[in-house]
Amino acid sequence: MSEVQCSHCGKENPPDLEICQHCQSPLVAPQQPEELADVPPEGPLSELTGIIPIESAVNEITIPKPYSVKVRVSESQRANVRLLENLTKEGVRPPSRERAPGVTIQQALRILTAMALILAISWGIIFDTPSFQLPSADARISEFSEHIITLPESAPVLLAFEYEPGFSSELEPSMTIILDQLLSRGAYPVLVSTTPTGVVQGQRAIGLLNQKAGRVYEAPSDYINLGYIPGGATGLNSFNAGIRSTFPLEANGNQVWALPPLQNVNSLSDFNLVIVFTDSTETARSWIEQVGTDLQDTPLLMVASAQAEPLINPYYNSDPRQVDGLIAGLAGGAAYETYTGGMEVSRPLWGAFNMSVVVAAGLILFGGLVSVIGAAYKSESNGPSGH
């Protein structure tokens, strides 16, 4: 048989192919003149010429070839899929209103874990454990403090409060000391936030400092709270592009930029220092990406929660630095307290915190050991054949 020419690309194909091997278009065999001249012998179309008999079309209908839709996966991939299925099943299961009789093992374990932690914390609070001394300050802490103590008087400093109330216990120790350092040196803090709760956190921080240090810092003579920057990263970008247009007026309608310490501030690089208090990597990244690149000589410092520290560290350790100073978690705050030697803010929590960390680590280790022993016992009882 002769080769079939593709009507789409014009190239030749072997006669047994149904699809062009060059362009994958369906191949139509060349029609023979005698076939076109076929006349149906009978029926309503018997007198018509040049039509295709319906029998040939019907006869060509065949059951399509079965193609496998199974994904070829390895055994380990299968195990991962099973694990994910189990996890999602747990997640979407609606809470049952019917209580199981008695206490389940899971509930008992949860209560026991909580009791162990609460006992350890109570012990740490009531009996101030002397073995847990505040950590000593390292170069990171001294570098951070250096940025603050070298500030000139009336220097405008931008403070961003980017954390939820749940993280205040972690950030407040270092924040209170930093605020005290700034205000006692005559710097002029300008408070902002891209989270709604940050606005009140900034105000609370000043109140806490007034209460702990016995001082009376008031707005707008000692500091100003500009408030909330809406729009997340986009809002921050707009704030960076034009701080005066982003905050034309204070919340009560007063002119902000007519205040003496802010008269010469036209962009973020006119601040002497920018400090971000944050509990999340996303907000930290927003500040680094949207603001940090335009700060020029103004240092960008961060006081972060321990949960955000691992992902902020690369920006601090990079060369050149994208974050010029970093204090993280209660441990960072405690080290800063040791270095400055001022107020005792993290000291009341430090012993209890260490006790809780020791107990939590012990519980994780114990749980891991129980799992390993359980798995070994199970495999042994199943026998070497796995039955």
Partner 1 sequence: MNIAGLTLPDIAGLLVGTFLTLCVFSYLLGDNALFRLATHIFIGVASAYVAVTAWFNVIWPKLILPVLNWETGSISILNYLIPLLLSILLLFKLVPRLSTLGSPVMAYLVGIGAATAIGGGVMGTLFPQVAATINLFDSDSAGGGIFWLLIIESSFILVGTLSALIYFHFGARSPHGGPPQRAIWIDGISNIGKYFIAVTFGALFAGVLTAALTALVERWNFILSFILSFFSWLI
- Which position among 233, 267, 269, 342 is part of the footprint of partner 1 (CB under 8 A)? 233
If one asks whether residue 310 binds partner 1 (CB under 8 A), the answer comes out as: yes
- Smallest gap from Cβ 343 to partner 1, in A, equals 16
- Which position among 5, 181, 203, 322 is part of the footprint of partner 1 (CB under 8 A)? 322
- Vertex 330: Cα angle to 162 and 191 (nearest 5): 25
Q: Rank residues 36 and 241 by Cβ distance to partner 1 and give the closer one.
A: 241
Which two structure tokens, joined as six digits, stand for 233?
């990263």
- Which position among 40, 210, 219, 228 is part of the footprint of partner 1 (CB under 8 A)? 228
Q: What are phi and psi of 132, to 5 degrees?
A: -95, 85
Site string for partner 1, 204-223 (x = CB under 8 A): --------------------
Alpha carbon distance 338, 326 (integer Å): 16
Alpha carbon distance 272, 139 (integer Å): 22
Alpha carbon distance 40, 46 (integer Å): 5
- Smallest gap from Cβ 77 to partner 1, in A, equals 10
According to DSSP, residue 223 is labeled -
Instruction: Give the up-direction half-sphere exposure of residue 364: CA atoms within 13 A in the CB hemisphere.
Output: 6
If one asks whether residue 360 binds partner 1 (CB under 8 A), the answer comes out as: yes
3-state secondary structure of 274: strand
- Which position among 144, 161, 167, 336 is part of the footprint of partner 1 (CB under 8 A)? 167
Q: Is the dihedral of CA 186, 342, 197, 269 positive or negative?
A: positive
- Smallest gap from Cβ 149 to partner 1, in A, equals 23
H/E stretch holding 24 reads none
Q: DSSP characters for 101-135?
A: SS--HHHHHHHHHHHHHHHHHHHHHHS--TTSPPP
Residues from 88 through 127 that contact partner 1 (CB under 8 A): 95, 99, 107, 110-111, 114, 117-118, 121-122, 124-126
Q: Rank residues 6 and 349 by Cβ distance to partner 1 and give the closer one.
A: 349
Q: Rank residues 63 and 139 by Cβ distance to partner 1 and give the closer one.
A: 139
If one asks whether residue 348 binds partner 1 (CB under 8 A), the answer comes out as: yes
Q: Which stretch binds partner 1 (CB under 8 A): 17-25, 137-145, 206-214, 314-322?
A: 314-322
- Vertex 124: Cα angle to 123 and 130 (nearest 5): 120
If one asks whether residue 353 binds partner 1 (CB under 8 A), the answer comes out as: yes
Residues from 67 through 86 that contact partner 1 (CB under 8 A): 72-73
Alpha carbon distance 223, 217 (integer Å): 8
According to DSSP, residue 275 is labeled E
Which two structure tokens, joined as six digits, stand for 266?
């036209």
- Smallest gap from Cβ 342 to partner 1, in A, equals 20
If one asks whether residue 39 binds partner 1 (CB under 8 A), the answer comes out as: no
End-to-end CA distance of the chain: 61
Please give the residue ranges that form the binding site for partner 1 (CB under 8 A).
72-73, 95, 99, 107, 110-111, 114, 117-118, 121-122, 124-126, 166-170, 196-197, 199-200, 227-228, 230, 232-234, 237, 247-251, 253, 279, 285-286, 288-290, 292-293, 305-311, 314-315, 317-320, 322, 329-331, 348-349, 352-353, 356-357, 360
